[in-house]
Amino acid sequence: MSLEVLLPLGWSPPVGYANGIAVPTGRIVFVAGQVGWDEKQQFHSDKLIPQFEQALKNVLAVLAQAGGGPNHICRMTAYCVDKPAYLSARPELGRIWRKLMGRHAGNRKSRTDLADDRSAGLDRQADCGGRATLYSGA
């Protein structure tokens, strides 16, 4: 059994995400918001794209500690502190997403991307967090 993408009858399919995900019973894992620093809590860039990639890698590392992978993620939230940078970087962010999350149909998670200039001035440019259900047969 696997994740079931929920698309109400008559709705157009969303691009790059799912409106909802249903999962079989399993162990639920909550991953805190991860920023774009390394395992020593050091930033190697002040740019959005490398920080987003590292933040997503950090989410996957925490999930792997619980025995999960990208296919187990049901819900992701990504925050960006610079809306113009986010809008111009969307094609590259999509490539990073597909590289790390996979190109299979299940990579379309229930996802929210938020750009918020109010957090400007912080070292972080991106923050990703998620929820996953670990179930047999995944």
pLDDT in tens, 124-137: 677 777 777 766 65
What amino acid is encoded at 115 in this protein? A
Quick one: what percent of the chain has pLDDT higher than 90?
Answer: 33
Q: Six-digit token pair at 104? A: 């299979």
pLDDT in tens, 52-66: 999 999 999 999 999
pLDDT given for residue 104 in this prediction: 55
Q: How far apart are CA 60 and CA 121, in angstroms?
A: 27
What amino acid is encoded at 17 in this protein? Y
Half-sphere exposure of 58 (CA within 13 A, CB side): 24
Please name every residue paired with 6 in a beta bridge, in sequence order, or none if there are none. 20
Region 57-77 average pLDDT: 89
Domains by residue range for the chain, with CATH: 4-134 (3.30.1330.40)
Region 23-51 average pLDDT: 89
DSSP character at residue 104: S
pLDDT in tens, 105-128: 455 666 777 766 555 455 667 777
DSSP character at residue 76: E
pLDDT given for residue 89 in this prediction: 94
